[in-house]
Amino acid sequence: MMVSYDGSFKGKRVLITGGLGFIGSNLAIRLVDLGADVLLVDSLIPDYGGNLFNIEPVRDRLKVNITDVRDANGMNWLVRGQDYLFNLAGQISHVDSMLDPYTDLDINCRAQLSILEACRHNNPDIKVVYASTRQVYGAPQYLPVDEEHILRPVDVNGINKMAGEWYHILYNNVYGIRAVSLRLTNTYGPRQLMKHNRQGFVAWFIRQAMDNEQIQLFGDGKQVRDLNYVDDVVEAMLLAAVYEGTNGRIFNLGNAPPVTLLDFVQTLLNVCQRAGRGQGGFQLMPFPTEKKRIDIGDYYADYGKIRRILGWEPQVPLEDGLRRTIDYYSQYRQQYWDSN
């Protein structure tokens, strides 16, 4: 089946929580180009990835509200009159969730309930797209992982994101708040946080390669992952938003074929070198204890469900996506290396 959103967002009011972050800002730019009336909500908490520069291309064509989704009174007002809510606000660092589990709980669980309650009481007709994560599965029992796989998270973040996801499904089923959840895998691309390595390996490896540093690969480097370029993720979100058949459902995103971390790093280094953007290398290192405890081993998704129902397929090959990403950071490095 092929779903189209042509014209669906023109003149529509769209709220994006976490809208100054990596995926939220790329989504916002796309929606503005589609003619939507876009409002971004972001707390700009240091080290979480929110960055006003992310929306530079459209900064005069949308609205920004600097507030925290944990502010229930604020959300009660912000959801009013909105046609769509892309709920991307969250604490996404697995390491941070283990060091500070209460903040992760507050943002990824309690705040999600506040958002949904705001919708229930102030805008029950809104359509909500929730950004979930592959981390809810934990260590895979089989590959590729489909949506029927047991949920057994290995860290606090995975547990809280799982709860946040099911709040959305519950409110769909019980209160009729139309909601769909997308379980994202490793997303990469322009506007990603580059300041530290606590939000996944991809951006940090790109930074190290561009800085001529040695990328540290833990273990033997043969761990398998799938990756999605951010434009493909945005496309999935837009399709999920407009199609009523997604209400109350959960979908994996993914890519094929998956790659080993070693192959990913070698591809990254080759792209950097060909572009004249870096001459880094890599070395294999033993797993740090705190990372080994929550490592999931190999992972790649079966995304056949979203392909069948929405016609979604990732379009950007890894090498092309890395080239676009490196070109972006080469041009705007000073806005990302230490600023967000």
Does residue 148 lie in a domain region?
Answer: yes
Closest C-alpha among 54, 45, 140, 146 to residue 93: 45
Whole domain around residue 138: which residue ranges?
Answer: 13-188+228-254+300-315
Alpha carbons 74 and 68: distance in angstroms, whole number: 8
Does residue 165 lie in a domain region?
Answer: yes
- pLDDT at position 3: 87
How many structural domains are present in the chain? 1
Alpha carbons 77 and 65: distance in angstroms, whole number: 11
- pLDDT at position 47: 75
Identify the residue whose tokens are 């949904």.
116
Q: Give, to the nearest 10 degrees, the angle between helix 156-175 and helix 111-122.
A: 10
* Residues of the chain falling short of pLDDT 50: 340
How much of the chain is helix, strand and coil, in % rounded to 5? 45, 15, 40
Does residue 268 lie in a domain region?
Answer: no
Does residue 328 lie in a domain region?
Answer: no
Does residue 271 lie in a domain region?
Answer: no
Does residue 243 lie in a domain region?
Answer: yes
DSSP state of 20: T
- pLDDT at position 26: 98
β strands within 202-255, DSSP E: 214-218, 224-225, 227-229, 250-252
DSSP 243-306: -GGGTT-EEE---SS-EEHHHHHHHHHHHHHHTTS---EEEEEPPPHHHHTT---S--B--HHH
Alpha carbons 320 and 189: distance in angstroms, whole number: 10
Does residue 83 lie in a domain region?
Answer: yes
Alpha carbons 56 and 61: distance in angstroms, whole number: 10
- Which amino acid belongs to residue 82? Q
- pLDDT at position 339: 58
| pTM for the whole structure | 0.96
Q: Give Cα separations from 185 to 103, 127, 145, 202 (angstroms).
A: 23, 23, 11, 11
Does residue 66 lie in a domain region?
Answer: yes
Alpha carbons 278 and 11: distance in angstroms, whole number: 43
- pLDDT at position 93: 78
Q: CATH no. for residue 108?
A: 3.40.50.720
